[in-house]
């Protein structure tokens, strides 16, 4: 168990997931406060880093591309104060941050987590129902239907058409963009079978225009809640032929649990330091034996340390 508690928030790692709880400090953005607690499974992580600084350091989680619907729809455009995967670390807690980084990195190595892109969402996205009023309208989503209602700032051409409502099943896309300078942001919904909209956000009846105010980033939560219920953009195309033959392929059959062996026998005493593949296999075997209860926690820790020392 590793934990770091700061004004900015609290991060806890139990070996399987990083639990992120936002703090109450004034520097914590409204999006992070509204999103609340986030549980990031180990298999969704691509890496972690700590960046020390004179006044404050930064602890950052790097998620696999496509693992989180919020990062998918925002595309790296979230303001830093709204980023749930960044933690401000006070200078005197740098040692704790470095220990946290080591624990997560060792777990990623032990579990051989693939840092590459994910073809399905590994995080559940924001909770629903969710309603956000910002810009020229209010967007609400109950897990199945999206509704858009307009306010007094909405252009008459868009407001005259009345409120809009559509189901997730009818959506082709959902996009979010922040305002930049004099250019407005938006949350835009593309309907299946409808032409791609080229109208400015202020005239598009499937778009809420954002003016750059405090609540604008919250629309990204609506977009993420919708996106996680749509097909993943990198999902593989299913093949009936491969599905029917899968049961006959030996490489897809469950592998037997490794036989019991003393912890000392698993340590790579004669393995060369450069043979990383062999070391990774040993780490995997260790983890399986420990989870099966064959190795005690002490034996597992000792053997794991011996293997990690070879890298």
Range of lowest pLDDT (11-25, 85-99, 243-257):
243-257
* Three-class SS state of 57: strand
175-to-35, 59, 148 alpha-carbon distances in Å = 19, 28, 15
Q: Above 70 in pLDDT, residue 241?
A: no
Q: What pLDDT, on the 0 to 100 scale, is given for residue 260?
A: 43
Query: Can you tell me the mean pLDDT for 50-56?
Result: 91
Which of the four pLDDT bands, split at 50, 70 and 90, describes residue 257? very low
Q: What pLDDT, on the 0 to 100 scale, is given for residue 19?
A: 98
Nearest to 210 by CA among 179, 164, 176, 175: 179
Burial class (CB in 10 A: 0-12, 13-18, 19+), 98: middle
Q: What pLDDT, on the 0 to 100 scale, is given for residue 147?
A: 97
Tokens at residue 106, please?
């060792």
Nearest to 307 by CA among 259, 260, 287: 287
Query: Can you tell me the mean pLDDT for 45-57?
Result: 93
- Look at the pTM and tell me if it is higher than 0.85: no
Query: Can you tell me the mean pLDDT for 114-132?
Result: 95
208-to-29, 71, 127 alpha-carbon distances in Å = 21, 20, 21
**CB within 8 Å of 165: residues ≥ 6 apart:** 145, 146, 147, 148
Q: What pLDDT, on the 0 to 100 scale, is given for residue 258?
A: 46
**8-state DSSP, 136:** T
């Amino acid at each position: 168990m590793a934990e770091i508690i700061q004004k900015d928030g609290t991060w806890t790692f139990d070996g399987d997931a990083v639990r992120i709880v936002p703090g109450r400090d004034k520097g914590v953005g409204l999006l992070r406060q509204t999103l609340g607690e986030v549980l990031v499974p180990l298999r969704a992580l691509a890496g972690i880093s700590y960046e020390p600084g004179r006044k404050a350091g930064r602890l950052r989680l790097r998620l696999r591309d496509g693992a989180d619907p919020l990062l998918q729809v925002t595309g790296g455009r979230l303001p830093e104060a709204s980023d749930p995967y960044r933690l401000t670390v006070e200078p005197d807690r740098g040692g704790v941050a470095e220990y946290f980084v080591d624990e997560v990195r060792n777990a990623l190595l032990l579990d051989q987590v693939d840092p590459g892109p994910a073809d399905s969402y590994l995080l559940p996205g924001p909770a629903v129902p969710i309603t956000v009023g910002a810009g020229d309208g209010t967007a609400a989503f109950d897990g199945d239907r999206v509704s858009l209602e307009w306010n007094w700032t909405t252009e008459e051409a868009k407001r005259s058409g009345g409120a809009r409502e559509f189901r997730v099943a009818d959506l082709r896309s959902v996009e979010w963009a922040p305002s930049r300078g004099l250019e407005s942001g938006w949350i835009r919904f593309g309907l299946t079978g409808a032409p791609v909209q080229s109208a400015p956000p202020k005239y598009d009846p499937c778009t809420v225009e954002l003016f750059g105010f405090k609540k604008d980033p919250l629309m990204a939560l609506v977009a993420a809640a919708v996106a996680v219920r749509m097909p993943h953009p990198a999902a593989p195309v299913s093949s009936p032929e491969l599905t029917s033959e899968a049961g006959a392929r030996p490489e897809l059959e469950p592998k037997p649990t490794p036989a019991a062996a003393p912890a000392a026998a698993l340590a790579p005493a004669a393995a060369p330091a450069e043979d990383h593949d062999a070391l990774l296999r040993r780490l995997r075997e260790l983890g399986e034996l420990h989870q099966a209860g064959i190795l005690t926690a002490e034996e597992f820790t000792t053997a794991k340390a011996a293997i990690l020392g070879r890298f």
